[in-house]
Amino acid sequence: MQKISPNLAFVFVLLAANRAFGGCDNFTDGSLSMSAPVFEICYKSKCDVTTMEYECGNAFSYSAAYKVGWSVGCKIAENETTDCSIYWQGRKISADKHQYITCRNLTDKTTCNVLRGPS
């Protein structure tokens, strides 16, 4: 487990505040009036431009998935530590390889949340 960076903690607080008891934004079922945000996600030198499928969060967890096969899931403990797992097409990426993952939001200037490699 690792200590949450101030930026990541802020993202989790915003998610919890915006969804009092938690909730999800599903960009694939037509329930939202906005289009899915677009991201460039790279692993080492291989990059994919993709859209977000969903993003869910509350005070205890965060998860998101992207159309090309990236996904992330985090559990947040009371002591502000987080345990995040990142997956590529259902296969878990070992934590020592997270440093090779970068993410850039192409829709706006917001963060890519936890799918952005080391702070």
What per-residue confidence (pLDDT) applies to 94?
A: 93
The values of phi and psi at residue 60, to 5°, are: -115, -10
Residue 45 three-state SS: coil
Does the pLDDT of residue 110 top 80, yes or no? no
Find where tokens 């936890």 sit. Answer: 114
Q: 29-39, pLDDT tens digit by residue?
A: 888 888 889 99
Tell me the whole-structure pTM to 2 decimals: 0.73
CB 42 within 8 A of CB 12: no
DSSP string across 57-115: E-SSEEEEEETTSEEEEEEE-TTSEEEEEEEETTEEEPGGGGGGEEEEESSSS---TTT
Predicted local distance difference test score (pLDDT) of residue 22: 67
| pLDDT exceeds cutoff 80 at 102 | yes
What ranges do the domains of the chain cover?
Answer: 2-105
